[in-house]
Chain A
Amino acid sequence: MKEKTYVDDIDRSLYDFRNEDKDAYKLEEGLTPEIVSKISEEKKDPEWMKEFRLKSLEIYNEMEIPDWGPSIDGLDMDHILTYVRPKDNKMQNKWEDVPEEIKDTFTKLGIPQAEHKSLAGVGAQYDSELVYHNVKDEVVAQGVVYSDLESAMQGEYGEMIQKHFMKLVPPKDHKFAALHGAVWSGGSFVYVPPKVHVEIPLQSYFRLNAAGAGQFEHTLIIVDEGAYLHFIEGCSAPKYNVANLHAGCVELYVGKNATLRYSTIENWSKNMYNLNTKRAKVEEGGKIEWVSGSFGSHVSYLYPMSILNGANARCEFSGVTFAGKGQNLDTGTKVLHNAPNTSSYINTRSISKDGGISTFRSSVVVAKKAKGSKAAVSCQSLMLDDISRSDTIPAMDIRTKDCDIGHEAKIGRISDETVFYLMSRGMSEEDARALIVSGFADNVGKELPLEYAVEMNNLIRLEMKGSIG
């Protein structure tokens, strides 16, 4: 008789510390025109943005919640704090000037250390506000702009931001895009000038500390013609007994022959509703590379979308999702081939254990004008026990004959033979299973910078800790 594997829940002590937020400034719970107007005042928005927020709120009130994904019944918008400003908040560009408690938070998460070792610039957001932003002088000297979105909007890039803000993800896209449009706060703006190659990555890290709060940061990146950038996004939060919400928005504009790599290791706490929207538009000869690891959250709806808008534009998506106890992670990607000779390659892995539910959901749409386009989708799912669930729901909509579309999916469990082989080489069963799962997720691990790949493998090892045959 086969023996079952029991898997412990993740040891989240690394991420699960919290600070008192009694001195933080908070707007009242809920969502009304008054609250939205107050946020607008807090942010010193230009007039167009205030109008945009109020219009988005109207759209939010008109739209229905999705009827096709995981339940979000536990999310009560009347009790979500849409704006929390940390005590003594003022954005700094030196870590020593950041309030002690917040600085300690990011130090525990390893952000200043990572900045020192391997990053060209860092933005750190705490609740609704950025608390730290800095970029290396040599990157600034290349003409690269990396700042918080709000101050960039007030300065020389205001017009550029107005031209691009929520144009890829309009508020009417879905209910939580409309919510974002109404209450967004914080986030980063990056502009990479033509032909500039940013050698080392930039990173933004989002930390949500306040209980029952939402985080609605907006990331806007414009990589101009022939330029290159690798941007890393990280996020975490301590666990509370009340629901937290993340409804961020990422808009990426990849210019002609430019390349943008956007990497994310998402590790929100397991009371988080992660309803994030990410979208990239890629012009002729450009390339977007998504590297996405989803480990946290109670419920996730996350499908980075690539709009291949110019001839020969390309997209690669490498994703891994690990759903454990109490998690329902609905992740995947969307690609629109909207120009000739575009290509996309999607390679994902899903792992479910301890009652977790993981769903891979995708759409590949090839428009009539996208002649000569190619798409390949590969999704694999691993079930680690018989109380979990794993679904794959890939859709394809092809409107031209002149294309080549391939799709493959596989679902199964860890092979007993492989575990036996590794154990015969002296490994414990727990280590053998952890190694197999790490290898299974290697499609993402090998695409990440070393430090982040190590962090991802640590997360997998922690998830697998306690596996016994």
Chain B
Amino acid sequence: MKINTIPSPTWNWLQMNEVIVLDDLDGEEQKIEIKENQNVLEPLRMKIRLEEEKDGANGFDFRLEPKSSLTVIMNLTSEIGIKAKYLNKIKYLCKEGAKLTLIQVLMAGDKVEVFHDIDGVCESKGEFHLIQLVLGGKTTNINCQNDLVGKEGRATIDLGYLLKKKEKLDVNYVVNHIGKKTTCDIDVNGVLKDEAHKLFRGTIDFKKGASGSVGSEMEDVLLMGEDIVNQSLPVILCSEEDVEGNHGASIGELNEDLMFYMKSRGIPEEQVYETMARARIDVIKNKIVDEETRKLVDEYLEQIG
């Protein structure tokens, strides 16, 4: 089946319009409803550990009533060297003034295939914040569609990734600005080592009527491998006059001036790269307010070196 289809395709020869995966997985869907004015202080933690040859699939439907809030933390790990597939589907609805923070940390082994599919709606002043850290996995596909239908709805997406060996990450973020004065911020920081392959698609779509809306997407990629493949497709679609849309990308090795400075301080080049790679992940990691998760990420990064 085709997934991660970009709303506005480009030349087929670039092979960036969608990705084809072989099969779908069936899983149960859980409905989670947060009542009006209820602020759930303790994060909802989901720990998924994949086992050998056991494919997994599950789904969640989060419904946040007006002025409620919830943080969900999903940690995906696997046993060393196992081969498995995991599909996760999330639907969300943030009603007036509600806020959902979804943190997904992927620390799977290099034979694990993952597909995260997120689809949701923010009503008036509703807010969705997605923080994703991809730190492993043979193939990780991420699709996230957000409709900002209400006035002053907001979507914030932070993605950090560290890919090595032959790991592959395929991302498709879409934010549809439908209501007035809606806002989106997409911030992507990543590192590609060895033969890693990343395809990032980010679409900000200002629909007619979304006056006063602002959308921004930024991508910063540090390239460290001789055989890496970095593909980026940051798209802005606009049918409304009174909007501001920006995107920027910076892709390459470390800046020469920075490298010169660090080396002049006696830091070897290899260490400079490792430090700067770690810094990129930390930028996203530090947006996670939960200390336990941050510690887990630190431990995992130490472990994989």
Contact = CB atoms under 8 A, between A and B. Distances in A.
A395 B16 contact: yes
Given A397-B231, A408-B248, A391 B241 contact: no
B233 A393 contact: yes
Contact of A383 (B235, B241, B248): B241
B17 to A, nearest CB: 7
A361 B244 contact: no
A394 B17 contact: no
A211 to B, nearest CB: 32
Given A2-B242, A412-B243, A392 B235 contact: yes
A386 interface: yes
A363 interface: yes
A404 interface: yes
A412 B10 CA distance: 22
Contacts, number: 137
Contacts of A391: 8, 235-238
Interface residues of A, number: 37
B38 interface: no
Contact of A398 (B229, B237, B240): B229
A386 B225 contact: no
Given A398-B229, A399-B229, A392 B248 contact: no
A464 interface: no
Nearest to B248: A408
A392 B244 contact: no
Contact of A363 (B11, B17, B240, B244): B11
Contact of B9 (A67, A368, A385, A410): A67
A399 B224 CA distance: 11
A244 interface: no
A396 B238 contact: no
B84 to A, nearest CB: 30
Interface in A47-76: 67-68
Interface in B229-255: 229-253
Given A390-B238, A406-B249, A401 B223 contact: yes
A391 B235 CA distance: 8
Nearest to B192: A401
Contact of B233 (A394, A400, A403): A394
B248 A409 contact: yes
Contacts of A398: 223, 228-232, 251
Contact of B241 (A67, A384, A399): A384
A389 interface: yes
B235 A403 contact: no
A1 to B, nearest CB: 12
B17 A402 contact: no
A195 interface: no
Nearest to A377: B249
A168 interface: no
Interface in A350-391: 361, 363, 368, 381, 383-386, 388-391
Nearest to A389: B239
A381 B240 contact: no
A44 interface: no
A363 B14 contact: yes
Contacts of A411: 206, 236, 238, 243-246
Nearest to A398: B230
A405 interface: yes
A413 interface: yes
B229 A396 contact: no
B176 to A, nearest CB: 14
Given A68-B9, A361-B10, A393-B235, A405 B241 contact: no
Interface in A169-195: none
Contact of A409 (B14, B227, B230, B234): B234
Given A386-B208, A401-B223, A401-B253, A407 B236 contact: no
Interface string A127-156: 000000000000000000000000000000
Given A388-B241, A396-B249, A401-B224, 13 more contacts: A68-B11, A68-B12, A68-B17, A390-B238, A391-B236, A392-B236, A395-B231, A395-B232, A397-B14, A401-B226, A404-B252, A409-B247, A410-B244
Interface of B: 8-12, 14, 16-17, 192, 206, 208, 211, 223-253
22 contacts: A2-B242, A383-B241, A386-B241, A389-B239, A395-B11, A395-B232, A395-B233, A396-B230, A398-B229, A398-B251, A401-B192, A401-B223, A403-B253, A404-B251, A404-B253, A407-B247, A407-B249, A408-B247, A408-B248, A409-B247, A409-B248, A413-B243
Which 4 pairs of residues, A with B, have the shortest CB-CB distance?
A: A401-B223, A407-B249, A411-B245, A405-B251
